[in-house]
Copies of this chain bind each other. A is one copy, B any other.
Amino acid sequence: MTTRTDRPQRADARRNVEAILDAATATLARDPDASVNDIAKAAGVGRVTLYGHFENRGVLVAAVVARAMQDSEVSLRGVDLSGDPAAALVRLIEATWQVTLRYGALVVAAEKSLPAADLAAAHDEPRERVERLLGRGRDAGRFRADLPVSWLVTTMHTVTHAAATSVYAGELAADQGARAIAATMLGLLTPPGEVVPDLDALRAAG
């Protein structure tokens, strides 16, 4: 008969975990080098409690990233990827950028503290979405077919992260990020011998 005492404890534990994840997300988004102490303080829990739920900083960052990715997935699944593949790509880039801004420097925190393999796994679903769209664009002759699709997907991922890092470094204005990524990708994906589409014309047409 441990139910009566266990239930409130479990509810407390769940609340603590949520509070820690919320605080870690907000704290790391402001400062990717934030310590476990900073996060515990922001969450209003002790270090012992925090370490009871998350063995070390890496485990905590991984959990924060996992939750952020889930939330991002919900946003990205809602993007209309039908019609002209180039216009669809611009819509996907704009939605991806909103997600990137929401989590701010979390991307930087993740890149600094997570093994590359974990980061790659966290990007499986976005990668597949981009891969399908780029494949459709190639079949339609809109995107280049002289380079492997996997390489084009890598450039999309890489250019997006470079934009996030550039904003964090103060080299690019946050509201210019989506434009820089979209303009860059439209050029990068245009087949040799074809004309690079103008981003504004494409937006107006879409």
Q: Are A171 and B192 in contact (CB under 8 A)?
A: no
Question: Which partner residue on chain B sits nearest A185 by CB separation?
Answer: B188
**Which of A49-57, A71-79, A89-97, A153-161 lines the interface with chain B?**
A153-161
Interface size range of chain A in the complex = 20 to 34
How far is it, in angstroms, between the C-alpha of A198 and the C-alpha of B190 when the chains are bound? 11
Q: Are B196 and A193 in contact (CB under 8 A)?
A: yes
Name the distance in Å between A175's Cβ and chain B's nearest Cβ. Answer: 14
Chain B contacts for A193, CB-based, 8 A: 195-196, 198
Count of identical protomers in the assembly: 2
Q: For chain A, residues 108 to 150, give those with C-beta under 8 angstroms from any C-beta of chain B.
A: 112, 116, 144, 146-148, 150
Q: Are B171 and A155 in contact (CB under 8 A)?
A: no
Question: Which partner residue on chain B sits nearest A186 by CB separation?
Answer: B192
Q: Are B148 and A183 in contact (CB under 8 A)?
A: no
Q: Are A192 and B184 in contact (CB under 8 A)?
A: no
Is A189 at the interface (CB under 8 A from chain B)?
Answer: yes
Could you give, for residues 171-202 of chain A, a 1 whenever the CB lies within 8 Å of some chain B CB and a 0 otherwise? 11000000010011011111111111111000
A-B contact pairs, 9 of them (CB 8 A): A144-B196, A148-B172, A150-B166, A150-B172, A183-B192, A187-B189, A192-B199, A194-B196, A196-B196
